[in-house]
Structure 1
Amino acid sequence: MSTKSQPDNEGGCDLVADIGGTNARFALSRQEQGKRVLLEVQSLPGAAFDSLEAAVRHYLASVRAQPTRAAIAVACPADKDDIQFTNSAWSFNRRQLQRSLHLQQLEILNDFGAVARAVPQLAPSDVVTLHGTLSPLRGPVTVLGPGTGLGVAQLVGSSAQGWAVVETEGGHAGFAPIDEEDRRIAAWLSERVGRVSNERILCGNGLSQVHAALRGDADLTDPARIVAAALAGDPDSAKTLQRFCAILGSAAGDAVLLQGARTLVIAGGIVPRFVEFLRQSPFHARFLAKGRLAAYLADVAIHVVVHPSPGLLGAALALPDRTIDLP
């Protein structure tokens, strides 16, 4: 007997999900012509549901599907049976969820681990290159990005030998201020949250906190408004976004050095909104500002993912292809 991969039929689609601190993204996935495709993509507000299971059931009812396999990427450590989200009140037990949803197979993976898994599969149109070249993809690869939190993962291997994903919680590494403005932001946050990690700054709420700290105003502005105002030329908002990009550069440079990376890939829900602003910002100068290691970092390729759903694609890739027996 031998096996051969076959595209899923209509009833053979898998459920894939990318669950962040704010949004729950879902899709059905199947294999077509050797590639994973996403169907019926939906993004639901997490706050509208009491639990992950409730959100899953709502989605499946809306697309009238009953999959037997699922892969769910979660914005938290994913190595235990009991899963507690870092930036959400949701929690679940993977075995109970599998039984409740009548799944034969359930894969749980870290959300940025899923994004990292998708990176080698991305087309040139799915990324914007800030420095260096995309092909061939040189490893190790640091994958990070701000969203509701700050995700960090790593790819090791090569295109020829295959890639392995290392899931991390690197976004929670401590923030290292560089200049007086950084120290002012750190002090502002320390008064409110105690320990200041990179994630406290490099996320949506962190952008609002930076804006407030620089203005000396306790009121927090919606981060989407800050970005829109910065791109429209508002000086205060532009100053905030410039500082955000500078701190992102410092944190990214540290992550690359810690992981020995030769490529940096920036993903997440925030940076793709202002790629050209990032290109003109102090991001790269701060990325390189590592003293004697500046030349090492100057050779690191840097790309921004603009694919709309890399976490869903990475989750889909965590499921093996369906097979049929042939005589």
Structure 2
Amino acid sequence: MTAYRLLADIGGTNARFALQAEGSDFADVEVLACRDYDDIGAAMDAYLARAGARGHATDAIRHAAVAIANPVEGDFVRMTNHHWCFSIAALRDARALDTLLVVNDFAALAMALPHLDEAGRERIGGDIAATPGRPIGLIGPGTGLGVSGVVPAPGPGGTRWIALAGEGGHASFAPVTRQEVDVLDALWEEHGHVSAERLLSGPGLEAIHRVLSGERLAAAAITARALDGTSAACRATVDVFCAMLGSVAGNVALTLGATGGMYIGGGIVPRLGSLFHASAFRARFEGKGRLRPYLARIPTWLVTEPYPALRGGAVMLDAATRQP
């Protein structure tokens, strides 16, 4: 009978689950809507019940890793962009787990970056080579805005990677154009503090469109109309969004010294397709005055690996359960 461990990637909208046997790829990946469950335990139980009904041995699971869109500090976790909250110890004990590793979702995603091959990423911008063994940056707009990175550290078996778990998406947004000043002014009136996440997220895309056009549309409708060419206003919103993302990504790259490369994750950018490639993202990424040459040599990639946070969580679980 296969001995599985449980992996989960919990965002503000969706919860992704998978099983993994030692030395194997994922089995039985399933995506559940968070709104359909009262808490993380209910979602976990529902997934395991369905996976068991599909013939997997879920009763014997003793190790699990959960990557979650939230700071993880201490035992109690309360999600920022969803109502779920839980005690790690209580969740572990209720499901008879020997190990329950709970980590920030973008720290887990960042841990996957050194292991991505060309099939798991898409180059944005010119053919620029990364500097091996240097920090790697990560930014990703979705329900919120994730920011992370990994830094190399020498180890007895060679280079190992250390993930950075922070909340850089909540750093204050800085406009670059007068149009962005107008957007910031409008959101200041509503929120007081305006973080990068207020603009670079699904709700942020809607906010940009509302300020620029006066029209209230869901993020999915904005991207759909921009892509099919039926709305010049929606296309303008997407262009502003991509330019802002370039500036913030450049800030992260400068802060981390990410000459190992800068990656874009999250659920929004992959849906933009050719609009993202044609946008001002890369120009704004490099547009840092005297530091333009420094940023010009940093490659940027879009993460296309379907479940990168699950993969990174598996790497972190390996380390947590490894025998000394």
Same fold per superposition (TM over 0.5): yes
Query: Which one-letter code corresponds to 1:30 in the other structure?
Result: A
**How many angstroms does 1:136 deviate by?**
6.7
What secondary structure, in the 3-state scheme, does the structure 1 residue paired with 2:162 have? strand
**Whole-angstrom distance in 1 between the partners of 2:7 and 2:234:** 37
**Whole-angstrom distance in 2 between the partners of 1:207 and 1:38:** 33
What secondary structure, in the 3-state scheme, does the structure 1 residue paired with 2:46 have? helix
Flag the 1:323–1:281 CA change in 2: closer, same or farther, 3 A: closer
**How many angstroms does 1:198 deviate by?**
0.2
**Whole-angstrom distance in 2 between the partners of 1:120 and 1:133:** 17
The match for 1:115 is 109
Query: Which one-letter code corresponds to 1:83 in the other structure?
Result: V
> Conserved in 2, the CA contact under 8 Å of 1:134 and 1:303?
no
**Whole-angstrom distance in 1 between the partners of 2:21 and 2:253:** 34
**Whole-angstrom distance in 1 between the partners of 2:40 and 2:129:** 36
**Whole-angstrom distance in 2 between the partners of 1:189 and 1:26:** 36
Give unmatched runs, 5+ long, in structure 2: 53-57
Give deviations 1:235-276, integer Å, cap 9, x for gaps: 111100000000000101111111111110111111111243
Flag the 1:295–1:135 CA change in 2: closer, same or farther, 3 A: closer
The match for 1:100 is 94
**Whole-angstrom distance in 2 between the partners of 1:169 and 1:53:** 25
2:61 paired with 1:81: no
Q: How does 1:232-311 map to 2 (within 5 A)?
A: 232-233=228-229, 234-262=231-259, 263-311=261-309
The match for 1:6 is none
> Conserved in 1, the CA contact under 8 Å of 2:128 and 2:297?
no
Q: Which residue of the other structure, out of 109, 119, 142, is the alignment partner of 2:137? A: 142
What secondary structure, in the 3-state scheme, does the structure 2 residue paired with 1:178 have? coil
Query: Which one-letter code corresponds to 2:183 in the other structure?
Result: I
**How many angstroms does 1:229 deviate by?**
1.1
The match for 1:56 is 44
**Whole-angstrom distance in 2 between the partners of 1:162 and 1:69:** 22
The match for 2:173 is 175
**Whole-angstrom distance in 2 between the partners of 1:105 and 1:142:** 29
The match for 1:129 is 123
**Whole-angstrom distance in 2 between the partners of 1:124 and 1:173:** 31
Q: Which has the higher contact order (CA 8 A, sep 6+)?
A: 1
Flag the 1:323–1:141 CA change in 2: closer, same or farther, 3 A: closer
**Whole-angstrom distance in 1 between the partners of 2:236 and 2:142:** 20
Aligned length: 310
Q: CA RMSD in A?
A: 1.8
Query: Which one-letter code corresponds to 1:242 in the other structure?
Result: D
**Whole-angstrom distance in 2 between the partners of 1:88 and 1:177:** 28
TM (normalized to structure 2)? Answer: 0.91
Give unmatched runs, 5+ long, in structure 1: 1-8
Q: Which residue of the other structure, out of 2, 5, 25, is the alignment partner of 1:14? A: 5
What secondary structure, in the 3-state scheme, does the structure 2 residue paired with 1:151 have? strand
The match for 2:16 is 25
Give deviations 1:64-117, integer Å, cap 9, x for gaps: 112111000010111210001111111000000000111011101100001011
> Conserved in 1, the CA contact under 8 Å of 2:128 and 2:298?
no
Query: Which one-letter code corresponds to 1:252 in the other structure?
Result: A
**How many angstroms does 1:318 deviate by?**
1.5
The match for 2:223 is 227
Aligned identity (percent) is: 38
Flag the 1:134–1:296 CA change in 2: closer, same or farther, 3 A: closer
Q: Which residue of the other structure, out of 149, 152, 156, is the alignment partner of 1:154? A: 149
> Conserved in 1, the CA contact under 8 Å of 2:227 and 2:235?
yes
TM (normalized to structure 1)? Answer: 0.90
Query: Which one-letter code corresponds to 1:155 in the other structure?
Result: V
Query: Which one-letter code corresponds to 1:102 in the other structure?
Result: A
The match for 1:47 is 35
**How many angstroms does 1:194 deviate by?**
2.0
**How many angstroms does 1:161 deviate by?**
1.5
Flag the 1:252–1:312 CA change in 2: closer, same or farther, 3 A: same
Give deviations 1:143-181, integer Å, cap 9, x for gaps: 111011100111111795222111111111100011111
